[in-house]
Structure 1
C-alpha cells in the first residue's frame, strides 16, 4: 500500500528535531507553555502532539525559531514527553474477559502506565547526566560544582529503591534498562493471569509484583527530588507531557486529572492531551475534579472564529513555502490570490466592507449579474428586493453611505451562492458542480483549514504539488481541485468512523449520515426555501435530540467535523453537548455545497425532524463526487 502524502507530517511519527524544524508557535502554544497544569483539548490532527513535543527537553533543545530563546528563558521546567500506549487499556480488557477481579486488571494497567512515565523520566535523567557529566575532583564546570561519580551512584541507588527497581549497575542507563524489563514483566504477568485464570495465578502474581500499587505522582516526584538535589537545584520543576491520553482507561484518566489538584505547587507539573469529548463517565465516580480557576488551564485547539487562526495559518504557509521552487518570500495572497467572496463571521463588518470597497469593475459587474440572475428565477428574492426598495436597474452601491448598502453587502455572497444552485422551477435545484469560486483564494483556504495545521499543510501540499511555480496566483481550477480532493478524503474518513469510542460513546446512528442531514438542511434552506437575509448555518443541540444522535456528534467533534461556539466548562472537554451551538467544519463546506459563514442557529431537532411541508419542498440532486487524482490515500491527515 502506498503512503498517504501527509503521513510524514504526523508529529507522532516525526523526531523531535523534525517537529522543531517546521514548528510554528501560536497563541494556543503560549497558553499551554507556562509553568502551570494544563489540559490540551483538540480533535484528531489538531496539533496536540506537536505542542507537547515542543515543550519537551528534546523539542526545546532542537528549536531555533524566532521565538525560541524567549520561550526557553521563561519555561521554568524540564518537559518529559510520555506517548500513549493502547496496552494500558487492552491489558485491563483481557484480564476482565478472563474472569479476573476488576481490581487486578486495574493494578496491572496502572503499573504499566506508571512504568511508562518512570521510563520517560529516567530517559530525561540520563539525558541530563549526559549533557552535564559528573566532575572529577573539585573541578567547577560552567560555574557549577557538579556531583561526583560516587554521589551520582548514591542518588541512583536511592531512586531505584523508590521505584522498586534492581538495576544491574548504579547508572541512569541501568535505570532505563530496568524499567524496560519491568514493562516486559508486567505484560508477561498480565498475559499469564489472563491465560490461566484467576484460580491459578491471580493472587500469587499480584503478591509477587511489589511494584503494583506504586503511586505515579509520588514516585515520580520523590525520584526527581533526589536527582535535583544531586545537582543543587532543589527548586527545579519538571513537567509530564501526557499525549493522546483519551486512549487511557477511565481509572487512569480519573487518577491523573485528580492529581492536578495536588501537583500545582510541587515538583511536578502535568500537561495532558485529550479529545474534546471523552467518556461520559469521567466524573461519575467519587473523584474530585480539578478546577479551571484554581488547578488547571484548559487550552482548546479549535477556532469558532476564523480571525484568531488567520495569522497562525499565514505563518504555517511561510514556514513551508521555502521548500517550493520560486515561492520563497512570497505571501500567501500572492500565491493563492484573494478569495472572490468573503468568509465572514459575525461581527466582521470591516472585513466585508473592505472587500467590496476594493472590488474591480469586472467584479462589481459579476456581483450585479448574480442579483439579476437570481431575480429572474426566484419570486421570493423579488419580494425581498421590493420590501427593501432595491432597484436592480441601478448601480448597486455597497458602502454604508449608499442606499441599502449594508443590506446589499451582507447578502451578496448568499445571492451568488443561491443563484449558482437554484433551478428555474420554483423549489428546484440545478445539478451543477460546486460553486468553486467560494473555495479558492487564501482567505478561503485558511478558513477551510480551521487553523488545523495538518489540514492546512494537506491543502497547500496538494495544490502546490501540481501547480506551475511560474504562474501566480495559482489558477482557481487548480486550487479547487486540491480543496475538493482533500475534502473528499475527509468525507470518506467520516463515513468509515466506528460507532463506538472509549467504550462509553456508543451510537446506532451513522456519524456521517447525521452530518449529511445537517448539511443538506442548510443547503436547502439556502437554495430552495424562501430567500432571507440570514439563513441558518449553525445549530443548537436541544433536549429533543436523542442520545444516539448526541453520541454521533460527540464522535464527530473528536474528529473536528463540527466546531463548538462555546468553550468547555468542564476540565477534560464536554460532558454534554446539550444546549451548545455548533457549525459544520468548513472542510465539509464543498461536500454539502455551503458558504463559509456561521449565521444564525436553528435547533437540531428541527433539522432532523422537519415538518411535512418543509420535507415536501426539498429536492435533492445527487451528483458524482469530484474526480480523484491518484489512487493513494492520505490517512495521516485525518
Structure 2
C-alpha cells in the first residue's frame, strides 16, 4: 500500500492490530453506551476504530474489556458494516439508463441490506463460537436442534433456499444474491429499461420491500431463542455512512426513532453534508446521543497522543526520544532562549520596540527566576519567537527553509496531530519504529513532519468540488485555505506588532454560500476546526456565526504557529488587500507526486 495514511486506516487493519494499539477515552465510552448513537468527526479522526472496536469480532480480544469490566456495560453484540460507494453508484447508473427512481432505489436498498445480512451472519457465527468457548462443546451439542431450527428460520426470513442449512451456506447464498443483483443492475444499465421484467425484478431484487429493522429482529430473535437468551441486544455499526444515498440514511434514522430494546444503531458521519437534514426527521434529541469526535482542548489531545505512543511503541514518555519543543511555555526553564529572542526582535523590529516601550516591559526581569512572568509577556512570547524567525537584521522578511524550532519536539508534534491517530502514526512510525530510547535529531523530526503535512495538503488540493459527500462548490478548498493562511502569516510577520493577532476566523453574514460549502468540505476532511461553538450536530447545514481555526496539521506548510488567537470575520480576510495581492502558488511536481501518499 503506497498511501502513508491509508496504511493506518482501521478499515484495513486486522482486529488484532486494532486492539494492540487501541487507546480508550471518554469519547469511546460515550460512543459505546447502550443506545442509538451518531458518531460525528472528520475523516481520519478515529470513527472507524471506535466502531470496529465495538464489533464482536474485535472487542473480546481487548484485554481492557475484561479487566475493567466493560463487558458489563457493553452488553451487546456489535456488527460492523463498512460503507460502500456501490449503494449510491448503482442508483446513478440505473437512472442514467432511464430506470424509474423507485426501482433504482430498490436495487441500492437491496445491496445495502444484503451487506448488512452478510455481516450479521458472520457475527452470529462468532456469537455461537463464544458460547462454545465459554460453555463447552457439550452445551452446543445439546442445543444443536434449536440452532438448526434458528438457521432454517433465518433462511426463510432472508428468502434463501440453501441445499444445506448452515450459517456458512447462508453466507454463500447471500453473496450469490449480491452477485446476481450486480449482474442484473449492469444488464439494465447497458441494455436499457425496456429489458426490465417484473417477475425477474422480484426474484433478483428480493429485499426491495422489506423493513430492515423488523427483518433483523426476526433474525436475532431466532438465534437468541436457540440459546434461551431473549434479553440479548445487538448493535448495527454503520461506518462512513455519509457516502450512502440520502434515502438509506433516512431509513436508518427512522429506525433510530424507536427504542433500542433489541437493536441499536451506531452511525458514523462527517460533520457536513445532506445528512444534516435529519434534524427535522427525529422526534426529539433523546432519540439518539451525538458524540463529536474532535478535541477542543489541547490537554485532551495531548493525553490521547501520549497514550497512543505508549500503546504502539511502548514508550512511556515521548519527550525522552523527541525532546521538548524549543519554545515551549515553560518560560523559567527556558529563560535564556526567551531573553535572546526578545532582545533580537527588539533590536531589529521598530514596531515591537515601540510596543515594549509603550507597555513599560522589562523582559529580562520578566524571565528572571525572582519574578513571576506577567500574563502580557506570556501572551506575546510565542508571537515574538515566531516573528523573529522570519525577520532579518534589518527587520525585513527573510525566507526560511526549516522551522524545526517550532514544529519538532513532542509538544509540537502532538499539537500538530490534532489527536488524529492516522496522521500521528504515519509521522511517528518511521521515527520511533527504529529507536530505543535514543534522542532523535530535530532535523529528522521536521523532515518527517513535512512529509506527512505535505501529503495531507496534497490530498486537500485534489478534493472534488462537485457532490463531495452531498456538497458542491465552485471555490477550490485548498485555495481558500491558502488565502486564509496567507492573511494570518502576513499579519503576524509583516504587520504592526500587537499582543493579539488574528489566527481564527468567524463565518460572518457577508460570506457567500460558495465559500461556506467549501468550508464544509474542508471541515469534513479535518482541515478546519470549530472553536468555542455552541452549535451541535443537526445544525451544521449553516456555518454562519461559527468560529474556526485552520487545522494545525497544515501549520508547517503554511508557516503558522501552532496556537490560537483572536478571531476576525472571514469576509474581512477575503476582501483584504493582503489576500488580493497574494498570487496563488501553482502546485509543483513534488506535490502532485504526494497525492498518492494520502
TM over 0.5: same fold? yes
1:337-375 deviation per Cα after TM superposition (whole angstroms, max 9, x unaligned): 112223xxxxxxxxx4xx11333xxxx232122222222
Q: Counterpart of 2:401?
A: 433
What residue in structure 2 maps to residue 454 of structure 1? Answer: 422
Shift of 1:147: 5.4
CA distance in 2, matches of 1:484, 1:212: 50
- CA offset at residue 411 of structure 1? 0.7
Q: Distance in 2 between matches of 1:3 and 1:265?
A: 42
Q: Distance in 1 between matches of 2:86 and 2:534?
A: 29
Structure 2: distance between partners of 1:377 and 1:623: 33
Within the candidate set 318, 331, 338, 1:356 is matched to 331
Note closer, same or farther for the CA distance 1:525–1:542 as it changes in structure 2 (3 Å cut).
Answer: same
* 2:307 paired with 1:331: no
| Structure 2 contact 573–579 (Cα < 8 Å) conserved | no
In structure 2, the partner of 1:348 is: none
Verify: 1:368 aligned to 2:329, yes or no. no
Distance 1:197 1:186 in 2: 16
Structure 1 portions without partners, runs of 5+: 135-139, 323-328, 343-351
Match of 1:309 in 2: 301
Distance 1:456 1:526 in 2: 27
Q: Secondary structure at the match of 1:193?
A: helix
Deviates more, 1:498-507 or 1:540-549: 498-507
Partner of 1:44: 43
Segment drifting more, 519-528 vs 187-196: 187-196
Deviations 1:513-569 (A, max 9, x none): 100001010111111111111101011111211122111111111111111125684
* Whole-Å separation in 2 of the counterparts to 1:121 and 1:177: 13
1:477 aligns with 2:443: yes
CA distance in 2, matches of 1:161, 1:560: 45
- The question of 1:560 aligning with 2:530 is answered no
The question of whether the paired residues in 1 share the 8 Å contact of 2:339 and 2:367 is answered with no
Aligned residue in 2 for 1:247: 243
Q: 1:445 aligns with which of 396, 399, 413?
A: 413
Q: Is the 1:193–1:205 Cα contact (8 Å) retained in structure 2?
A: no
| Superposed counterparts of 1:210-609, under 5 Å | 210-262=206-258, 264-279=259-274, 282-283=277-278, 288-289=281-282, 291=284, 293-322=285-314, 329-342=315-328, 352=329, 355-359=330-334, 364-391=335-362, 394-397=364-367, 402=372, 405-423=374-392, 428-464=396-432, 469=436, 471-472=438-439, 474-502=440-468, 504-566=470-532, 569=535, 571=537, 574-609=540-575
Cα distance per residue 1:380-431 (max 9 Å; x no partner): 2122112211246x533378954x72211211111111111135667x5212
Distance in 1 (CA, whole Å) between partners of 2:583 and 2:332 is 36
Distance in 1 between the 2:534 and 2:544 partners?
A: 12
Pair 1:63–1:49, CA change in 2 (3 A)? same
Change (3 A) 1:5 1:507: closer
Distance 1:531 1:405 in 2: 18
Q: How far apart are 1:197 and its partner, in Å? A: 2.2
- Provide the rounded CA distance (Å) in 2 between the counterparts of 1:436 and 1:190: 55
Give the match for residue 114 of structure 1: 113
Cα RMSD after superposing both structures: 3.0
Do the aligned partners of residues 587 and 308 (structure 1) sit closer, same or farther apart at CA in structure 2, a change above 3 Å counting? same
Displacement of 1:469 in angstroms is 4.7
> How far apart are residue 603 of structure 1 and its match?
0.8
Query: What pairs with 1:13-28 in structure 2 (closer than 5 Å)?
Result: 13-28=12-27
Larger displacement relative to structure 2 (222-231 or 377-386): 377-386
Question: Using a 3 Å threshold, how does the CA distance of structure 1 residues 197 and 627 change in structure 2: closer, same or farther?
Answer: closer
TM-superposed CA distance for 1:627, in Å, is 9.5
Q: In 2, distance between residues paired with 1:24 and 1:64?
A: 12
Asked whether the 8 Å contact 1:114–1:215 carries over to 2, the reply is: no
Q: Distance in 1 between matches of 2:265 and 2:80?
A: 11
- How far apart are residue 37 of structure 1 and its match? 1.0
**Structure 2 residue aligned with 1:175, among 156, 170, 186?**
170
Q: Give 3-state SS (helix, strand or coil) of 1:389's partner.
A: coil
Scaled by the length of structure 2, the TM-score of the pair is: 0.92
Provide closer, same or farther for how the CA distance between residues 619 and 260 of structure 1 changes in structure 2, counting only shifts above 3 A. closer
CA apart distance, 1:501: 3.7
SS, match of residue 564 in structure 2: coil
Q: Is the 8 Å Cα contact of residues 468 and 521 (structure 2) preserved in structure 1?
A: no
Q: For residue 326 of structure 1, what is the aligned residue in structure 2?
A: none
The change in CA–CA distance for 1:582 and 1:96 in structure 2 (over 3 A counts) is same
Partner of 1:325: none
| Gap change, CA 1:159 and 1:572, over 3 Å in 2 | farther
Q: Give how far 1:462 is off.
A: 3.4
When residues 400 and 447 of structure 1 are mapped into structure 2, their CA distance, relative to the original with a 3 A threshold, is farther
Are residues 408 and 400 of structure 1, via their aligned partners in 2, closer, same or farther at CA, if it must alter by over 3 Å? farther
Distance 1:600 1:316, change over 3 A: same
* Ranges in structure 2 where 5+ consecutive residues have no aligned partner: none
**Partners of 1:116 and 1:278 in 2: how far apart?**
23
Query: Deviation string for 1:170-191 (max 9, x for gaps)?
Result: 2222221221111122222222
Q: Is the 8 A contact 1:46 1:453 kept in 2?
A: yes
Q: How has the CA–CA distance of structure 1 residues 373 and 255 changed in structure 2, closer, same or farther, with 3 Å as cutoff? A: same
Matched residue of 1:213: which SS? coil
Distance between the aligned counterparts of 1:312 and 1:162, measured in 2? 44
8 A contact 1:459–1:483 mirrored in 2: yes
Alignment partner of 2:268: what SS? strand
CA contact (8 A) 2:56 2:126 kept: no
How far residue 193 of structure 1 moved from its aligned partner, in angstroms, is 2.6
| 1:411/1:619 CA distance change after superposition, 3 Å | farther
- In structure 2, distance between residues paired with 1:624 and 1:187: 40
Q: The residue matched to 1:80 in structure 2 has which SS?
A: strand
Change (3 A) 1:566 1:156: farther
8 Å contact kept, 1:397–1:405? no
For the residue of structure 2 that corresponds to 1:515, the secondary structure is helix
